[in-house]
Every structure is written in C-alpha cells, then in structure tokens.
Amino acid sequence: MTHDGSFHGRQAIEKGYVQLDVKSWQIGSYITTVDRVVAVGNEVRSTGRWSCVHKNWSGAPGNADGHYSWVIVREGDTWKIRKNTASGSGGIL
C-alpha cells in the first residue's frame, strides 16, 4: 500500500483487501449504490456510494460510508476493474 492508501498490481490489491477487510474488520450489510455509469471507448466508468456496518479489530461496532469510482475494462469475455478509488468515514478507510 502506498502512502495515499492505494494499491498497485494484482498481488498488492489482493493482499491489501485480505489485510484490511478480512483480518482487521468484520464487515456486514455492505451496500453499493451506483449513481452514474459512462462508457468511454473500451472502458466503463462508474461512480457512486457505499456503506456498511462493521466490527473493528477490537470488536467495537460501527457504521461507515463513502464514495467510490471504478474504471472497468473488458478483456476477452471478462470485465475487470482496472482502477478502484474509494473515500469514506467511519474508520474503514
């Protein structure tokens, strides 16, 4: 993870999600709301909001929410998220 909280490369992204989401937090009721989808060339750009309830590493409950931005590209028969940016409050990010 870089100083700004972003991950670069598939292995770093996978490791980051495991560390942040699986090992540190118990996340439930995760909701993503899409506000806008725009096709630009061979990309799809999506922006919206997310929210969840959680228990942190010490077991304290809380709520978190924020905004996201995705850049999604098609590779063969598969859609892949090329860039995932999120901001939020409530202790998750």
For 15, residues 6+ apart whose C-beta sits below 8 A from its C-beta are 7
Q: How many domains does the chain have?
A: 1
Q: Could you tell me if residue 7 is inside a domain? A: no
Torsional sign, CA 51, 11, 57, 91: negative
Q: Could you tell me if residue 41 is inside a domain? A: yes
Closest residue by Cα to residue 44 from 54, 34, 31:
34
Q: Could you tell me if residue 6 is inside a domain? A: no
Q: Could you tell me if residue 4 is inside a domain? A: no
Q: CB of 71 within 8 A of CB of 81?
A: yes
Determine the pLDDT at residue 3. Answer: 46
What residue numbers bound the domain in which 57 lies? 27-89
Q: Could you tell me if residue 2 is inside a domain? A: no
Name the token pair of 61. Answer: 């409950």
| pTM of the complete model | 0.60
Q: Assign residue 81 the CATH number of its domain.
A: 3.10.450.50
Q: Tens place of pLDDT for every residue, the chain, 93 residues?
A: 444 556 677 787 777 766 665 555 667 788 889 999 999 888 999 999 988 887 766 777 888 889 999 999 988 888 888 998 888 876 555
